[in-house]
Amino acid sequence: MVRLSTGVALVLTLGLSTLAPAQTMATGQAPAEIVLAGEDDWSPYSSAGSGGPQAAPVGFAVDLVRAVFATQGLTVRIIAVPFSRCMLYAKTGQVAGCFNATITDDNRSDYLWHQPAMFEEELSIFGRADDPTPEMRLSDLRGKRVAYTKGYTYPSEFMHDSRIQKFSAVSDTALIRMLLSRRVDYILLNRTPGWMRIDNTPDFRAKLRRTGIVSMDGFWLAFSKQSPQGERLALQFSQGLSQMRRDGSYQRMLDEFRARVGYR
């Protein structure tokens, strides 16, 4: 999945002072349950668990979200849903937030954004293994047939460029099949999830190659403007994530994760 170039990372619009954890702010009533949504098909960051449709998602982003809120004395319940539904739930206030989202011109004003980003991932261009094209950039896709996954967020520079012939697929797997059947010239996949899907699928293995990069994207937890918890949680998430980056626990989590999945 994809999702903004790191230059947009400074768009946090919540210029408020530090808040205490929610439990310390209660007025005698039990704090409301915090429910977040995580996407169900973006391994190794967030994907459906093995415990059935009601199970929480698993992956690095899931672990990170829990760890960040734990620094603020908060626990959260996370449900796994398709990404487009995840963003809709957050936009309409059915959950307090959705991850993993990028910030684009099209969604920037629809959600509340924390600072800094949770992590970064390359949005890569993939072609067939016999494609001889050297390192490509976004401009090299003009005039080409390029497929992306429907319902994901992509850089505005790609989505609004009419010179690129765009096609959509319902999933990253369907995207790869489109490429191998020569229905398109290139596809867009995030680098780590893309390679994991290719390497773990015998029909795909050794049949694709990374041919270039569109952007290095930051990924966020998009907090709901419609949820009464949204603004406070965005601030507390910012505090917790900044704390983890300062004390080294964030980097230790990231290094362990990358070693485990064979990050490349």
The reply to whether 136 falls in a domain is: yes
| 72 and 86 in a common domain | yes
Reported as a single tens digit per residue, the pLDDT across 62-80 is 999 999 999 999 999 999 9
Residues 64 and 177 in one domain: no
Q: Look at residue 67 and give its three-state secondary structure.
A: helix
The answer to whether residue 254 is domain-embedded is yes
C-alpha–C-alpha distance, residues 254 and 228, integer Å: 31
Per-residue confidence (pLDDT) for residue 29, from 0 to 100: 55
- Domain carrying residue 230: 6-15+32-119+217-261
Looking at the structure, tell me whether residues 251 and 189 fall in a common domain.
Answer: no
How confident is the model at residue 151, as a pLDDT?
Answer: 86
Q: Is the domain of 60 the same as that of 106? A: yes
State the pLDDT at residue 53.
64
112 plus 127 within the same structural domain:
no
Q: Who's near 256: CB < 8 A, 6+ residues apart?
A: none
- Looking at the structure, do residues 74 and 204 belong to the same domain, yes or no? no
Q: Do residues 60 and 188 both lie within one domain?
A: no
What is the per-residue pLDDT for 55?
79
Question: Does residue 205 belong to any structural domain of this protein?
Answer: yes
Range list of β-strands (E), the chain: 35-39, 41-42, 46-47, 77-81, 97-101, 111-112, 119-128, 145-149, 165-169, 186-190, 208-224
Candidates 16, 14, 118; CA nearest to 67 is 118
11 plus 115 within the same structural domain: yes
Q: How many structural domains is the chain composed of?
A: 2
**Residue 26 domain-assigned (yes or no):** no
CATH of the domain at 141: 3.40.190.10
pLDDT of residue 17: 36
pLDDT in the model for residue 263: 82
Query: Same structural domain for residues 77 and 129?
Result: no
Same domain? For 105 and 186 the reply is no
Question: Residue 24 domain-assigned?
Answer: no
10-residue mean pLDDT series, the chain (264 residues)? 40 38 45 90 91 82 98 96 95 97 93 97 97 95 97 90 97 96 98 94 96 96 97 98 98 96 83
Q: Is 69 within the bounds of a domain?
A: yes
pLDDT at 262: 84
Q: Do 78 and 10 share a structural domain?
A: yes
Q: Pick from 196, 216, 236: which residue ends a domain?
A: 216
DSSP state of 58: B
Give yes or no: residues 10 and 101 share one domain: yes
